[in-house]
Amino acid sequence: MKKRLPHKIKWLEVVALLTLVTLATFDIPRSSSFAQTQTQSRQLGRQIDPVKTWPIKAKRWALIIGVDQYRDGQINALKGSVNDAHNLANALVSYAGFPQDQVIVLTTDQPEEHQPTRINILTYLSNLASLVPKDGLLLVSFAGHGIERGGQAYLIPSDARLSHDVSLLEESAVSVTRMHDRIKAIGVGQVIVLLDACRNDPGGRADAPNNMSAAYAKFNFDVRNREVQAFATLYATAIGQRAYEYTEKRQGYFTWAVVEGLKGGAANEKGEVTLSALVKYIQDNVPKRIAIDLGGHEQQKPFATIEGYRADELVIAIAGENTGLAVRSESTVESAEQSYNSAIAYVREQKDQEALQKFDEALRLRPQFSMAHYDLGLLFIGQRKWDQALASFESALKGDLKPTWIEAWAHIRRGNIYDATGERTRAVEEYTKALRTGIDYLGSYGAARGFISTPYDPVSFPARTNGEPVQNDGRPILRSRDANGDSRSETTRADKNAGSDFVVLFEQKRYGDAALEATIVTYSNPENAQAWEIAGLSQFALKRYPEAARSLEKLLQLQPAKLQEAPIVDALGQAYFYADLYEKAVPLLLVATTSARAKSDATPHYQLGLAYYRTKRNREAIAELKSAIRIKNDYVIARFFLGMSYLAIGDKSSAMDQYETLKKLDQDTATKLFAQIKK
C-alpha cells in the first residue's frame, strides 16, 4: 500500500464487504493459501472431516454493514457501500435461505439505531453471541473505509475521527483483530468473510488509489484447534491491487459479482450455486468487467482462503428466489412482467383490488422487482395507506433498482409519506438521500429540493395511484386521485389546462412543486404547451437554467407565436445565458435590449455584451457594454469585461482607462484587470 503520510500511516479503504459471510463450505480452486492449510493438516496427522452442508435456515444469521457517509468531514464519502450492503442482504434472503429477521443491516441511510457507528457494530456483535447457535452459520459484512498502521488494519465506522493520533484511532475505529476476536467469541461453527477492499484513499483525493495490504489478509480462523468448524475468506482484490466501484450500478464490482453469482450466475444445470462455483464466478467476472469498463491497464483479481469446507459439494444458494428448488427461468421473469402489466392496466381502469392481486402475483414470482414495488407504493399512496406505501418503497430500494431513477423517486415518495404523517425530520432525511443519489430524472432533483423547503401536503397534492414512468420505454401512465377520492385521467386533466394543479402552484410561487407537476404532465401529454411553459418558467425561477432552456424550447416548437411574448423571450434568453449557451442567447438577448425597459435597465445590455465577448465578437461586445455603463456608470463587472474586450482587439490604452476607473470603484476587480493587461 502506498505510504501517503510522513508518520507512515497507511490508508486503506476497506470498502470492506468484510462480509464475514458465514456462507458455506468452500473448496476453492486451489489457491495457494488453501493448499497450504490442507498440507499442514496432513502433517499433523489429524483427520478433519470437511463440511459439506449448511445448518438449517433457522440457524443462519448475518450482520451486514455499509458506510457511505462519515460524520468527520475529512473522510471521503463513498458511493457504493450502502448499496453493497442492501444488495447482499437481499440476495442472502432471496437465494441463500437466510430468514429476513435474522439479517441485520447497519447502513448510513437508516435511523440512528441502525447507523454503522462503532458502538452499534460492537453491540450487535456482542448480542449475536446469545442468538447464533454453536452449530449455526454467521455472516458479517463490512463495506466502508479502512486504515492500516504498523501492520494493523482498522475498519472505519460512520462516527470515526480521522487522526494521526494512534490512541484516538484505536478508540474511534474497530481493528480487524478485534472484529476477528468478537466473531470467534460468538462460538459459531461456520464463518465466511468477504473483504471488499481498497477503492480509494479515505483521507486523500477521491480518486487516489489505495492498494490492498497484507494486514487485511489475516482474517483466518484456526480449524485444527476448533476456533470454528469451517471458514472461507473472500477478498475483493489481490495484495498490491485496488478494488473499483461499478459506477453504473453504484456498488463495488466484487459485491456485484457475489450477488449476481448467488442469483444464478454461478448456478449449475440444477440451479445450484456451490461455494467453489461462486468463487470461480467472482474470479472470472470481476477482472473481465474491469477490463471492459476501465481498460486492460486496470487490474482487480479476487482471491480466497478456505479451510474446513468441501466447497465443490456445498450448495450455498438456489437460483429460485426462495420459492423452492426451481430455477428462476426466463418464463418466470416473463410471467412476472405479465402480472405487472396486468396490474398497471387495472390501475388505469381504477380497479384497485384487482391491481393489488396482480402486484402480489408479480412480486411472488420476482421479489426483487423494484418497478412493481414502486408502483404498488404509489397505489397505496393513492389509497392513503401510508404504512403499506412506506414498506413498498423500501422494498423498491432493496430490489434490482431497474430503472435506475427508482432510487431517487422512492426516497422522495418515502419523504412524502413522512410529511403526510407529521414526521418532518425523517421526511427531510429521505429528500436528502434522493439528492445524494446524484440522479436527476423527471425533475427528481428539483422535487427533492422543493420538498425540503416546502413540506409535501397530501391535501394540496392529488394522490396518484400510478405516477412517474412505469413502462419499459420510460413513458408514464399517470392516473390521479384528488382529495375527495375522485379519480380521473392525468392526460384528460392535462388537456383541459384550466385549473390544472401546476398552474395554481405557479401562481402561488411554489416553483419546485409547479415544475414537478408540470413535468409529469408533459410526460403523459408531450403536446401540452401550457405544461412546458409552466415547467420552463418554474425551472427558471429555481435557477435550473439548462432544464428551463429545454422546456421553453419545446414550448416554442409547439407554439412559435410565444416568441413574441416578452416574458418567454427574457426567460429563455437568460436561461441560455446562465447555462453558458451564449450563441443561442445572443439573438434573444438582442430582442431584450430593444424592449422599453432596456432604456433604463443596464442588465440586458451587459448580458448581451458578455455573450458577444464569450463568442469572440469583441467589437459588438464593446458597444453593448458601453450601453450598460451609460445607464449605470458604476457597473463594475461591465467595466471589467469592457476592458477585457478592448484587450481582445489589442487596445491596451482603452483597457487602461477602464482600469483607472475601476480603481475608484472596486480595487480587487481593478487588480484582476491589471493582471490581464500586464500579460
Q: Concatenated DSSP letters for 435-478?
A: HHTT---TTHHHHHHHHHHS---TTTS-EEEE-SB-STTS-B--
Q: Which helix (H) or strand (E) holds 233?
A: strand 230-235
Question: 519 Cβ partners below 8 Å, 6+ apart?
Answer: 442, 443, 531, 535, 551
The alpha carbon dihedral of 638, 643, 647, 650 has a sign of positive
* Beta strand pairing call for 152-155 and 174-175: antiparallel
pLDDT cut 90: percent of the chain above it: 21
Q: Of residues 419 and 80, which shows the higher confidence score? A: 419
So what's the pLDDT on residue 172? 86
Spell out where 144-208 has E strands.
Answer: 146-149, 152-155, 174-175, 190-195
Q: Domain boundaries in the chain?
A: 10-318, 334-485, 498-564+571-577, 580-678
Give the Cα-Cα-Cα angle 588, 589, 595 (nearest 5 degrees): 100
The predicted structure's pLDDT at residue 555: 92
- Cβ distance 513 to 454 under 8 Å? yes
The residue type found at 98 is F
* pLDDT reading at 333 higher than 80: no
The secondary element (H helix, E strand) that includes residue 488 is: strand 487-489
Q: Answer whether residue 308 shows pLDDT above 60.
A: yes
Backbone phi, then psi, for 214, in 5-degree steps? -65, -20
C-alpha cell at 446: 428539483
Percent of the chain at pLDDT exceeding 70 = 79
Q: Specify whether the CB–CB gap between 555 and 536 falls below 8 A.
A: yes
Average pLDDT over residues 216-224: 75
pLDDT beyond 80 at 328: no
pLDDT at 47 (0 to 100): 55
Q: Is the pLDDT of residue 6 over 70?
A: no
Q: What pLDDT is attached to residue 38?
A: 38
506-512-513-517 Cα dihedral, nearest 10 degrees: 90
Residues, the chain, total?
679
Q: What's residue 236's pLDDT?
A: 84
Provide CB contacts within 8 A for 330, sequence distance 6+: none
Higher-pLDDT residue of 658, 153: 658
Which residues lie closer than 8 Å to 572 by C-beta, 6 or more apart? 536, 548, 549, 552, 553, 556, 588
Instruction: Give the Cα separation of 272 and 139 in Å (integer).
Output: 20
Count Cβ atoms within 10 A of the Cβ of residue 145 and give its class: 0-12 exposed, 13-18 middle, 19 or more buried: buried
Cell of 429: 432525511
Q: What is the pLDDT of residue 11?
A: 36
Domains 498-564+571-577 and 580-678 share a fold: yes
pLDDT value at residue 477: 33
Q: Is the pLDDT of residue 21 over 60?
A: no
Secondary structure of residue 18 in the 3-state scheme: coil
Average pLDDT over residues 331-357: 80
Rounded CA separation 431/67 (Å): 19
Average pLDDT in the chain: 78
* pLDDT for residue 505 is more than 70: yes
Residue 63 has pLDDT above 50, yes or no: yes
Task: Please give the pLDDT value at position 203.
Answer: 57
Question: Of the spans 297-301, 312-316, 464-468, which averages the highest pLDDT?
Answer: 312-316
Task: Kindly report which listed range (91-105, 143-157, 182-196) carries the lowest average pLDDT score.
Answer: 143-157
Burial class (CB in 10 A: 0-12, 13-18, 19+), 64: buried
pLDDT for the residue numbered 493: 31
Q: Which fold has domain 580-678?
A: 1.25.40
The maximal CA–CA distance of the chain, rounded, in angstroms, is 100
We find that the CATH architecture of domain 334-485 is Alpha Horseshoe (1.25)
Q: CA 122, CA 113: separation in Å to the nearest integer?
A: 13
Mean pLDDT value across residues 518-532: 79
Which range is least confidently modeled, 21-35, 115-129, 190-204?
A: 21-35
Residue 582 C-alpha cell reads as 451564449
The 10 Å Cβ neighbour count of residue 214 is: 12
Q: How far apart are CA 44 and CA 32, in angstroms?
A: 19
Cβ pair 200, 208 in contact under 8 A: yes
In 3-state terms, what secondary structure has residue 234?
Answer: strand
User: Which residue reads 402486484 in cell numbers?
Assistant: 359
Q: Which of 15-29, 566-580, 646-660 is the least confident region?
A: 15-29
**What pLDDT is stored for residue 297 in this prediction?**
75
Residue range 80-103: average pLDDT?
88
Half-sphere exposure in the Cβ direction for 212 (13 Å, CA): 24
> How confident is the model over 105-139, as pLDDT tens digits?
998 888 788 899 999 999 999 999 989 999 899 99
Do the bridges between strand 137-143 and strand 60-66 make them parallel or antiparallel, or are there none, so unpaired? parallel
C-beta atoms surrounding 117 within 10 Å: 20
The most confident of the ranges 138-152, 258-272, 559-573, 606-620 is: 606-620
Q: Where are the beta strands (DSSP E) in 31-122?
A: 60-66, 103-107
For residues 521 and 500, is the Cβ–Cβ distance under 8 A? yes
Give residues with Cβ within 8 angstroms of 353, minimum separation 6: none
**Is pLDDT larger for residue 340 or for residue 464?**
340
Of 172-181, 207-216, 471-480, the range with the lowest mean pLDDT is 471-480
Task: Kindly report which listed range (271-275, 598-602, 674-678) carries the lowest average pLDDT score.
Answer: 598-602
pLDDT reading at 639 higher than 60: yes
Q: Collapse the DSSP code of 337 into the 3-class scheme (helix H, G, I; strand E, B; otherwise coil) and give the result.
A: helix
> Given strand 479-481, what is the order of strands in its sheet?
463-466, 479-481, 487-489
pLDDT at 605 over 80: yes
Strands 463-466 and 479-481: antiparallel
Rounded Cα distance, 237 and 260, in Å: 17
Q: Do 236 and 197 contact (CB within 8 A), yes or no? A: yes
pLDDT at residue number 523: 63
| Placement of cell 500511516 in the chain | 9
Residues 313/318/319/325 CA torsion (nearest 10 deg)? 120
Rounded distance between C-alpha atoms, residue 288 and residue 306, angstroms: 24
- C-alpha 547/C-alpha 541 separation (Å) is 11
The CATH number given to 498-564+571-577 is: 1.25.40.10
Q: What is the CA radius of gyration of the chain?
A: 30
Confidence at residue 350, expressed as pLDDT on a 0 to 100 scale: 79
Instruction: Say if residue 444's pLDDT is above 50.
Output: yes
- Is-contact 104 125, C-beta < 8 A? no
* Mean pLDDT of the 196-203 span: 64
Q: Which of 6-20, 37-51, 584-598 has the highest mean pLDDT?
A: 584-598
Rounded Cα gap, residues 636 and 638, in angstroms:
5
Amino acid present at 75:
I
Where does residue 443 fall: left (phi above 0), alpha (psi -120 to 50 degrees), or beta otherwise?
left
Instruction: Name, of 237-241, 367-371, 480-484, the range with top average pLDDT.
Output: 367-371
Closest to 466 (Cα-Cα) out of 386, 338, 352? 352
Neighbours of 242 (CB within 10 A): 25
Look at residue 154 and tell me whether its pLDDT is greater than 70: yes
Least confident of 40-54, 214-228, 354-368, 573-587: 40-54
Record: fold of 10-318:
Rossmann fold (3.40.50)
Instruction: Give me 265's grid cell.
Output: 450466475
The residue with cell 445565458 is 577
> Average pLDDT for residues 230-250, to the nearest whole number?
80
- What pLDDT is stored for residue 321 in this prediction? 47
The answer to whether the CB of 649 falls within 8 A of the CB of 621 is no
What mean pLDDT comes out for the span 327-341?
66
pTM over 0.75: no
Q: How many CB atoms lie within 10 A of CB 551?
A: 28
Q: Is the pLDDT of residue 466 over 90?
A: no
Q: Which of 190-199, 401-410, 518-527 has the lowest mean pLDDT?
A: 518-527
pLDDT computed for residue 8 by the predictor: 36
**What are 546-581's pLDDT values in tens digits?**
888 888 999 999 998 888 888 888 899 888 888 888
